[in-house]
């Protein structure tokens, strides 16, 4: 029954998505002037970050919800607890993975910090963290994830919950995610820090929850 409900929901979503794609697109709108004129109130210095986390923050909130939903669908489908097998250890690859992982974490932190004034941000930082986890898994240093512990569940949902809490708290301003100019930078940094951790775990989970060795199908 659970798989039937998930499959039915996916089919309905696919039909709605196809319908949206078939609708004619409106003429292009150049928003660069409008964004530039409001940059002082955005709390950041980069226009992409200003749009994603401030002017159109609700779009980003829904994107996080979609990624989180994808993980929930995977877990709802059920995971075979016997699919994970120890990978053959390659000392050279494992040593390289151990050396590469700390710089990848540093790069992720830098991308999070740099997102306020240049290309970067939570999505890029989370992707680098997820890549580090996948690298450790492929070299046999990190097992695949079978059942998410409570701490892992909180980690994957923390970013969305922080984002949602900030959005709810700002409803008193009269609009969704309308940051007060004086606190905009701090609130965006709080949201992006939470999203970096959650996105890293979600993207890694999309790989590690389904990871199988070639012989697992035998």
For residue 191, pLDDT over 80 is answered with: yes
Q: Which range, 32-46, 81-95, 187-201, is most confident?
A: 187-201
pTM of the predicted structure, to 2 decimals: 0.75
Read off the pLDDT of residues 129-154 as tens digits, 9 standing for 90 and up. 999 999 999 898 888 887 778 888 89
Q: What is the total count of domains within the chain? A: 1
- State which residues form the domain around 17: 2-217
Q: Say which residue, 2 or 111, is predicted with more confidence.
A: 111
Say how far apart CA 44 and CA 32 lie, in whole Å.
15
Say how far apart CA 171 and CA 21 lie, in whole Å.
31
Encode 12-52 in three state secondary structure.
HHHHHHHHHHHCCCCCCCCCHHHHHHCHHHCCCCCHHHHHH
The whole-angstrom distance between residue 169's C-alpha and the CA centroid of its chain comes to 22
For residue 94, pLDDT over 50 is answered with: yes
pLDDT more than 90, % of the chain: 25
């Amino acid at each position: 029954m659970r798989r039937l409900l998930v499959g039915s929901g996916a089919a309905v979503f696919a039909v709605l998505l196809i319908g949206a794609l078939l609708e004619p697109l409106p003429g292009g709108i150049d928003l660069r002037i409008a964004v530039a004129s409001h940059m002082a109130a955005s709390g950041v210095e980069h226009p992409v970050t200003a749009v994603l986390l401030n002017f159109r923050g609700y779009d980003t909130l829904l994107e996080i919800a979609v990624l989180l939903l994808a993980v929930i669908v995977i877990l709802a489908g059920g995971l075979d607890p016997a699919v994970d097998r120890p990978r053959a250890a390659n000392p050279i690859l494992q040593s390289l993975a151990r050396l590469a992982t700390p710089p990848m974490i540093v790069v992720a932190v830098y991308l999070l910090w740099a997102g306020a004034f240049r290309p970067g941000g939570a999505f890029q930082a989370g992707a680098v963290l997820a890549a580090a986890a996948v690298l450790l898994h492929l070299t046999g240093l990190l097992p695949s994830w079978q059942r998410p512990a409570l701490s892992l569940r909180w980690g994957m949902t923390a970013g969305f919950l922080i984002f949602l809490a900030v959005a709810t708290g700002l409803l008193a301003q009269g609009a969704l995610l309308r940051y007060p100019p004086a606190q905009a930078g701090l609130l965006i940094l709080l949201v992006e820090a939470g999203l970096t951790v959650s996105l890293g775990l979600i993207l890694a989970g999309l790989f590690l929850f389904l990871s199988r060795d070639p012989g697992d199908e035998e």
